[in-house]
Structure formats: structure tokens, C-alpha cells
A = this chain, B = another copy of it.
Amino acid sequence: MALPPSTKPLRADTERTVRAILEAAERVLSANPAATMEQVAEAAGVARTTVHRRFASREALIGALSAWAAQRFHEAVEAARPETTPPDVALYQVTANVLRVKIGWGFAMGALPTDAPEVASVHADVLARCERLFARLRDTGVLPPDADLDWARRVYYALIHEAATQAPDTDAAMDALATRVVDTLLRGIGTRTTT
């Protein structure tokens, strides 16, 4: 049972269990990617056999976890409407939204390269949107005309990844973190006066 997205409406019971397992898997696996199913089960507060009843194999569990996180990820990017908002606003919004997801679902999102077509397509879609956003940033003059957009995007990803290692408690801190990422991306950490 690899849980094909829409089998049948799950019983309230089951839904709770599945979520508990996914959340536990995220926590446990992010701490130790080689953790066993038993550790996940224990963290979820269920028996090991229950995990196996919901997810046929370890592979299936990780697949479902990736799919779940990919869904959230996609929503986070969607919600920022990066195609229609002014690019600098979009950059900030996307950053803030993605950070929110990435904190707490860090393992599921990028830990290991997922081959599930569903997840891959989400990542590809987000990648394309990101590239378009950066192109718009360049055309708007936020980035120089000769900017290496691929490098820019990779630096952006890396900064988000780095920022996500801190888990701010308040919403204000979250916003401050997003601001810092955008700021560092665009202006670096050096003194502006020089050169």
C-alpha cells in the first residue's frame, strides 16, 4: 500500500495515525537518516507493525514523506504568486513561505534525491518558476544584466538551506530571517562603500 493519493476517504482514526507517522518520520530521519522503522514507530507512538500496515516498505514511507513535503513546498511557492507580483516582492514572499515549510520538513524536502515522478515534477516546476523569477529580477534591474542566473539560483537555495537550520520561534523572527536571506543574496555581507 504505497498510499496512492486518492484511494478512498480515510477513516478519522487512520488519518491521525498516518500523520503521526509522517511527522515522526521527519523528526527521526532528519536526526539520523539511517534510523530504523522501529525508531520511527516508537516516535510516532504506534507499533512497528502499524507502520508497515500503512506503508508497505521503508521506501514507500520515505516516498510518501517526500510527496507530502513536496505538496507543502509547492503550496508555499504558489501562495507567493511569483509570476504576477513585482519580482522583488515575490522574492521576499517566496523566501518567507519556503522557509516556513523547510523548517520542520527539512529532511523530507532535500535530504535525498527522490525519484518519484510526482515529487520530481514539483521540484522541476518550482525550479522553473524560480528561474523565471530571477529572469524578471534581472530585467527589472535588481540583478545586473550579465548576472549568472544559475549561480544566483544556487546561492539562493543554499542561503535558504542555511537559514532553515535556525528555527525561529516567533513570526517576527521568521520574517527577519527571510529579510536577512534576501538581503544577503542581493548585497552580500561586505561593506557597501568599497569598490
User: A142-B190, A188-B184 in contact; A154/B162 too (CB < 8 A)?
Assistant: yes
> Does chain B have a CB within 8 A of A152?
yes
A184 touching B162, Cβ below 8 Å: no
Q: Which of A12-46 contact B (CB under 8 A)?
A: 33-34
A186 nearest in chain B by CB position: B190
A144 touching B191, Cβ below 8 Å: yes
Partner of A190, one of B33, B143, B159, B191: B143
A195 to B152, CA, bound (A): 20
Interface string of A164-190 (1 = CB under 8 A from B): 010000000000000010001111111
> Does chain B have a CB within 8 A of A3?
no
Distance from A98 Cβ to chain B, minimum over Cβ atoms (Å): 16
A162 touching B158, Cβ below 8 Å: yes
A70 to B195, CA, bound (A): 36
A185 touching B194, Cβ below 8 Å: no
Residues of B within 8 A of A157 (CB): 162
How many copies of the chain does the oligomer comprise?
2
A185 touching B180, Cβ below 8 Å: no
Interface size on A, residues (CB 8 A): 29
A190 touching B190, Cβ below 8 Å: no
A152 to B161, CA, bound (A): 14
A151-B184, A158-B158 given; name 20 further pairs at CB < 8 Å.
Answer: A33-B34, A141-B191, A142-B191, A143-B189, A143-B191, A144-B190, A147-B189, A151-B180, A151-B189, A152-B189, A154-B162, A154-B165, A155-B159, A155-B184, A155-B189, A157-B162, A158-B159, A185-B188, A186-B188, A187-B187
User: Can you pick out 16 interface pairs between chain A and chain B where the beta carbons lie within 8 Å of each other?
Assistant: A33-B34, A34-B34, A141-B194, A142-B194, A143-B189, A143-B190, A143-B191, A147-B189, A152-B189, A154-B165, A155-B159, A158-B158, A158-B159, A186-B188, A186-B190, A187-B190
